[in-house]
Amino acid sequence: MRSLLFAGVCLLLLTACSLDVKMQQAEGFAPLAQPQTVFVAPFTTIMVPDEVTEGLFDHFIDSLNASQAEADLMYVILKQGIDGIDPAWLSTHDYVTGEIFAYVEEIGSSTASIRAKNRIRLFQAGQAEPTLRLDYPIEIFYEKDYLSLEDARRKLAVKISDTMARKLSEALAGG
């Protein structure tokens, strides 16, 4: 009985608490015709630890590529970022930007939490403003005796990247 109670408490403390992804579609948004190439710029991060940023973008791309077979979309990374690309070229292509901000770690004597805000924007060819915006606030709680800060950061990165890739894929496919 004690081990069952312990498992329940651990499960509760290790779960990620997050609000739903808030989706805003502009008037010009349209699901992408398949097959289609979507360019993805590296995410902008503001005061976010390496354990979060290192794996987050790569896992996001991996999750998008795993879903590409279903939607017949191809994702290409813009390695130089948006600032290094000719604006005229960008205006004729569909591309995604992302950012992670408002990152806060609160660490107590035995428990801790990490929260962050995440945003992804889709710019479609011929549109000056983003046609799709996904906002995703997240907070995870964990027991310090059972999960290190570095592991909690990695868990947060996976949760963000999986959720945002799934929501983006659904929106692009018209779902």
129 is a domain residue: yes
Which single residue is written with the structure tokens 């948004």? 29
| Assigned token pair, 99 | 């950012």
Residue 19 vs residue 49, higher pLDDT: 49
Q: How many domains does the chain have?
A: 1
Q: pLDDT digit string (tens) for 74-95?
A: 889 998 888 889 999 999 999 9
Nearest CA among 63, 168, 76 for reference residue 122: 168
Residue 108 CA to residue 110 CA, distance in Å, equals 6
- Which tokens in the block code for residue 106? 């609160």
CB 120 within 8 A of CB 130: no
Torsion sign across C-alpha atoms 160, 132, 47, 41 = positive
Domain of 54?
34-99+121-135+150-172
Residue 7 has pLDDT above 70, yes or no: no
Does 85 reside within a domain?
Answer: yes
pTM reported for the whole predicted model: 0.80
pLDDT above 60 for 9: no
In a domain, 166, yes or no: yes
In a domain, 29, yes or no: no
For the stretch 30-56, pLDDT in tens is: 666 666 889 999 999 989 998 899 889
- Does pLDDT of 67 surpass 90? no
In a domain, 68, yes or no: yes
pLDDT of 18 over the 80 cut: no
Asked if 151 and 29 count as a contact pair (C-beta separation under 8 A), the reply is no
Q: Is residue 25 part of a domain?
A: no
- Inside any domain, residue 143: no
- Name the residue type at position 66: A
Asked if residue 84 belongs to a domain, the reply is: yes
Q: Which two tokens stand for residue 63?
A: 């999750």
